[in-house]
A and B are shown apart, each in its own frame.
Chain A
Amino acid sequence: GCSGGGGGMASCRRLSGAGLREVLGPAQGLLFDCDGVLWAGERAVPGAPELLERLRRSGKAALFVSNNSRRSVAELERRFSRLGFRGVRAEHVFSSALCSALFLRQRLLGGEGNGSGNGRVFVMGGEGLRGEVRDAGLRLAGEGESATAEPVRAVLVGYDDQFTFAKLAQACGYLRDPQCLLVATDPDPWHPLSDGQRTPGTGSLTAAVETASGRKALVVGKPNRYMFDCIVERFGVDPARTLMVGDRLETDILFGKNCGLSTILTLTGVSRLEEAQAYMASDSAAAKDLVPNYYVDSIADLIPGLDE
């Protein structure tokens, strides 16, 4: 059956044929990473929209968990639609931008905005991330500043293609107050571009802020558990009946392991099968946690495992 990722060592088995039905049959739902799994750049992975449609018809839930902090969930909903995926609504999508805003709301406002905390957030990121923070009821530093401006209670580092030394210095100024939180949307060191090149990720910017401030960031995104906690709070998923599907061993597969989910690596994105096999052959206990239970060449390969 579909056992949780908790006990026993994962063995990176190709999922096909009868094995596919055995694993997908009992599953109540699947969590999908987005980039490199559902789409690459502006192109849907062939068969991915059909897979989601077949999941829907089989009565299995599909939820989405992405470390990409560039877009608001509203933008992501439009993106799903534009790339040919039907029926995905914003409430099904858990991005690190959204979850970072929820995290900060909890910590600064005490939950639903009724806490005694106040104060502003210095956001190092684009408009998508800034919008999610605003939508959570938080005020941003640098907007509508007055002479009696509230203290900055958190620095949030996200994907920021307008990152500068000046912003880094500004963040450090705020972080001199030990009460000011340092939060990062995700740990990703780089992201692939469609032509095989790479663009620096939030992880590289967070490293700069941590070094300058002498502080360690609280990281919201995968492989940490917080985004799974958000999913459970909203939808109540059972980890023992849920599969995690992703393309990056160090984030998606480790996330699955950390949350007690069985994991499927898809090879349409960042990680290569050889890397998973190397982790499997390693002596280190930490490496074993990066080995997926299963792999497929593409998520389209999951379709035969579902009822007609």
Chain B
Amino acid sequence: AALPGPAPADWAQAPLDPAVRAVLVGFDEHFSYAKLCQALRYLLRGGSDCLLVGTNRDHRLPLEGGTAIPGTGCLVKAVETAAQREAFIVGKPNRYMFDCVVSEFNIDPSRTIMVGDRLDTDILMGNSCGLTTLLTLTGVTTLEEVKGHQESDCPTRQSLVPHYYVDSIADLLPALGE
């Protein structure tokens, strides 16, 4: 619903939908201070009865040509900071989506491979869920980055290291039957 008036003092007077029980933050190219205001109002009104959920924490979405735009993680952080509470994050590296897959398809983690290009989402989730992890180098991650984590003493960084890597997923073809 459109907000009355040009200023936050006006927006804070707009009626709140009594049925709202959750604020869900996803990728929103129309994110604005006004929306942030409304999110804060729902979270304060509902307290623990109003969920705060984020689809994912990605900082940046890479575009062709090496540039990037802000990711959903930025918007989640804005809401979390204003509301002084932590969102429940659905996306990788959290386990929730893997749990969804398991309940639909009866996956055996020890016989499943997670394939991804991003260490702090794809590979971390795979490792945390007991999958074999395979990094492909056609995306955001370089081999140098992986080596850096591998050589570090820090257990958190170690959990970003995949079991295997390929230059591209096309490299898997020769291993599959005729």
Contacts and interface: CB of A to CB of B under 8 A. Distances in A.
Interface stretch (B68-76, B107-115, B146-154): B68-76
Interface stretch (B32-40, B117-125, B135-143, B163-171): B32-40
B156 interface: no
B81 A198 contact: no
A150 to B, nearest CB: 21
B46 interface: no
Interface stretch (A108-116, A156-164, A216-224): A156-164
Contacts of B21: none
A198 B29 CA distance: 24
A89 B82 CA distance: 33
Given A172-B69, A212-B60, A200 B78 contact: yes
Contacts of B9: 193
A208 B37 contact: no
Given A160-B33, A208-B75, A211-B59, A200 B82 contact: yes
Interface residues of B, number: 34
A199 B12 contact: yes
B82 A212 contact: no
B8 A161 contact: yes
Among the interface residues B29, B30, B78, B79, which one has the most CB atoms of the partner chain A within 10 A? Answer: B78
B70 A203 contact: no
Interface in B63-97: 67-71, 73-75, 77-84
Nearest to B8: A199
Contact of A204 (B12, B29, B44, B79): B79
A201 interface: yes
Given A169-B69, A193-B12, A197-B12, A208 B74 contact: yes
11 contacts: A161-B34, A163-B32, A165-B30, A168-B74, A172-B70, A190-B40, A200-B82, A208-B74, A211-B71, A211-B74, A212-B60
Interface of A: 160-166, 168-169, 172-173, 189-190, 193, 195, 197-201, 203-205, 207-212, 214
